[in-house]
Amino acid sequence: MNLKKKACPDCEVDRRDFLRAVGGVALATAAAPLLTSSVFAAPSPKSAAETVAAELFKSLSAEQRKAVCFDFDHDLRKKINANWHITKQKIDDPFYTKEQKAQANEIVKRVCSEDGYQRLLKQTEYDDGGVGAYSMAFFGNPDSGKFQWTLTGRHLTLRADGDSVDKAAFGGPLIYGHGEENPKENLYLYQTQKTNEVFKALDPKQAEKALLANAPGEDKVQIQGASGKFPGVGVSELSSDQQELVEDTLKVLLAPYRAEDADEVMAMLKADGGVSKLHMAFYQTGDLGQDKTWDIWRVEGPSFVWHFRGAPHVHAYINIAAKA
């Protein structure tokens, strides 16, 4: 694989627009109290990634804290972008000690599955020279009960929060991607192939509902709640076999992340009515190679949005949270 970094002019979506899209949910969930016994399976402050994040936080000098630490409810925690840094200091900068750099990498490793971590290493190496070119920020204090470690950079937003943001999977919206424009080498092609298995399993009437002309903006992933209007075909309209395929697809999509986060997503989805509450949409625009394997797709329901833009390269936005 060619690891040369490429320019990404379309990475710069309007941050203010995205804040308006997800900010209401983020603000509401930030204000929610930390529950001692969540109704959902979820990471905790004692989870592996959070334990290392707390150790890293406590090792920061006064100078470091001034540069990379913020109040838990700071607006920067609620923003997201396909290509930005919350803080100026990169992990590989002399600003951090050797041990702190190692701890940052360990947090990344522990919020991912084994396969997800290997993909992330390849993606960050290709897109910006490695995890060391990314930036971390800390929100809150692990001793206060509300704390989040966040990693940002090109094609990536990753979080570890120990369920500090109640009823919001992953601690808030995520981004992942890959700048490789050759679809045969893109690290997340397998996800498009898996979702397209669902499309191929649809009958003609279902497929007509599922296939749409133009996709919404990749960052339009606000949580709509039960009264929302969702594009594509409703999973409730599918047969039991088709619904099982959708559920299997969700597990494939969640596979890059640690089991605690994946389990929380599935528990939240179940509490919200299950996969039958979801819709799936595929978009004719951006059909790489004109092969009718739809490279832009979306899975959405009352508390769930997964928007995957696979053309010209991958930008994927995830937002899974209960609507206030």
- 180-205 residue pLDDT tens: 999 889 999 999 999 999 999 999 99
At residue 148, φ and ψ (nearest 5 deg) are -140, 135
- Tokens 């619904």 map to which residue? 243
Joined together, the tokens standing for residue 75 give 């607006």
Q: How many domains does the chain have?
A: 2
Give residue 156's domain range: 13-177
| Model confidence band, residue 30 (pLDDT cutoffs 50, 70, 90) | very low
Joined together, the tokens standing for residue 28 give 């509401």
My answer on whether 99 and 33 are in the same domain is yes
- Tokens 């960052």 map to which residue? 219
Mean pLDDT of the chain: 90
My answer on whether 89 and 205 are in the same domain is no
Going from the C-alpha of 164 to that of each of 69, 135, 174, 262, 265, the distances in angstroms are 16, 21, 16, 16, 15
Residue 1 lies in a domain: no
Q: At what angle do helices 48-59 and 98-110 cross, to 10 degrees?
A: 160
My answer on whether 106 and 194 are in the same domain is no
Going from the C-alpha of 59 to that of each of 96, 103, 164, the distances in angstroms are 10, 10, 21
Residue 184 lies in a domain: no
Residue 205 lies in a domain: yes
My answer on whether 167 and 231 are in the same domain is no
My answer on whether 171 and 201 are in the same domain is no
Residue 7 lies in a domain: no
* Residue finishing a domain among 124, 144, 177: 177
Joined together, the tokens standing for residue 197 give 């298995």
My answer on whether 22 and 66 are in the same domain is yes
My answer on whether 193 and 133 are in the same domain is no
Given a cut of 70, whether residue 12 has pLDDT beyond it is no
Residues 6 or more apart from 9 whose CB is under 8 A from it?
Answer: none
My answer on whether 172 and 229 are in the same domain is no
**CA gap 278, 232 in Å, rounded:** 10
| Model confidence band, residue 246 (pLDDT cutoffs 50, 70, 90) | very high
Given a cut of 70, whether residue 6 has pLDDT beyond it is no
* Residue finishing a domain among 142, 177, 212: 177
pLDDT per residue over 176-185, tens digit each? 999 999 988 9
Q: What is the pTM of this model?
A: 0.89
